[in-house]
Amino acid sequence: MNDAALLEHATQTIAVGSKSFASASRLFAPATRRSALMLYAWCRHCDDVVDGQALGFASASLDARSPEQRLAYLRAQTRQAYAGEVMEEPAFAAFQYVAREHQIAPELAFAHLEGFAMDVRGARYLTLNDTLGYCYHVAGVVGLMMAQVMGVRDAAVLDRACDLGLAFQLTNIARDIVEDAQAGRCYLPETWLAEAGLAPPQLAEARHREALAGLAARLVDAAEPYYRSARAGLPALPLRSAWAIATARGVYREIGVKVRDAGPHAWDRRQGTSKAEKLGLLLRGAGVAVGARALNEAPRPAALWQRP
């Protein structure tokens, strides 16, 4: 597949898989956008393969393989990509390009795959720190790779990029509690569930929406210091990249606010932002990106979860 076809595949993938990030990604400089879209396409593909889906929908072609076999396939394909072999699968051909172009360490790619392995193993999360460990693998690592695509190499700035991934995933978990429960998954800390008198199998039941709303609000509140920390990393990015990331940050944070404010009705429909809201957040993101350059960077709070 040639470079233009790879970019087209990646563009179509993000258009279906993440309308929030698709909007923000248009702000990147062309070369950065190309790599960011290709990296996203690989992440989305890995997620779908493990779940036996294609862009979030069931795929009969993968049903014959067990989740363990699918995960083994992803690991093997990732090793082959790093070994320089010709990759037939577009998502892996795209990832191979990005990894080579931006020196993405294999450790980061395999750390991301470990997040899917946690789902396959049915990992449990006793405390918020345990949940954050999962968030690191499925989203924090993606933040690290995306930052490298934008040219970041400074460890302190990479910490901020990881923080944004953690905040995004905490927001996703709050929004998707019921959907995840219906799929037999729970990422809420078990200590929180115990305090609320709930067990994972009960989270999909409508009669527990009031208690669920309290737990979702706790998650949204837990994401806030990570969103604040991420803002401090914006001045280290090229201005267009800072604008794109500030916009994505604003969109995801707004989704969390909607989940919290909707209370027990948060799961009556999937929470998101309208086109008009995205436009407003895009304009606000410009102000955030420029304004962050005038601020003195505060030290990253020691209480925040620290990446490995």
Q: Where does the pLDDT of residue 25 fall: very low under 50, low under 70, confident under 90, or very high at 90 and above? A: confident
Name which of 81, 69, 147, 197 is nearest 307 in CA terms.
147
**Paired residues of 53 in beta bridges:** 58
Q: Where does the pLDDT of residue 245 fall: very low under 50, low under 70, confident under 90, or very high at 90 and above? A: very high
Percentage of the residues of the chain whose pLDDT score is greater than 70: 90
CB-CB contact of 236 with 152 (8 Å)? yes
Give the Cα separation of 281 and 273 in Å (integer).
10
Q: What is the average per-residue pLDDT within 217-246?
A: 97
Residue 292 has pLDDT above 50, yes or no: yes
* 124-308: CATH, from 3.30.470.30, 1.20.1250.20, 1.10.600.10, 3.20.20.140: 1.10.600.10
pLDDT in tens, 201-215: 999 999 999 999 999
Coil, strand, or helix at residue 53? strand
| Cβ-proximal residues to 122 (8 Å cutoff; 6+ apart), any chain | none
| Cβ-proximal residues to 294 (8 Å cutoff; 6+ apart), any chain | none
Token output for 67: 């989740």
* Average predicted confidence (pLDDT) for the chain: 92
Name which of 224, 206, 230, 305 is nearest 260 in CA terms.
224
Tell the burial category of 35 from Cβ atoms under 10 Å away from its Cβ (0-12, 13-18, 19+).
buried
Question: At which residue do the structure tokens 């027990």 appear?
Answer: 264
Q: What is the average per-residue pLDDT within 254-269?
A: 97
Residue 237 has pLDDT above 80, yes or no: yes
> Angle 87-90-93 (CA atoms, 0-180°, nearest 5)?
45
Give the Cα separation of 171 and 163 in Å (integer).
12
CB-CB contact of 117 with 71 (8 Å)? yes
Q: What is the average per-residue pLDDT within 204-233?
A: 97
Q: What is the average per-residue pLDDT within 223-235?
A: 97
Q: What pLDDT score was predicted for residue 16?
A: 61
Residue 17 has pLDDT above 60, yes or no: no
Q: What pLDDT score was predicted for residue 58?
A: 46
Q: Where does the pLDDT of residue 60 fall: very low under 50, low under 70, confident under 90, or very high at 90 and above? A: very low
Token output for 112: 């991301």
Domain edges within the chain: 1-103, 124-308
Token output for 153: 């190499």
Q: Where does the pLDDT of residue 233 fall: very low under 50, low under 70, confident under 90, or very high at 90 and above? A: very high
Residue 288 has pLDDT above 70, yes or no: yes
pLDDT in tens, 68-106: 999 999 999 999 999 999 999 999 999 999 999 999 999
Q: What pLDDT score was predicted for residue 2?
A: 57
Higher pLDDT pick, 66 / 10: 66
pLDDT in tens, 137-177: 999 999 999 999 999 999 999 999 999 999 999 999 999 99
CB-CB contact of 150 with 32 (8 Å)? yes
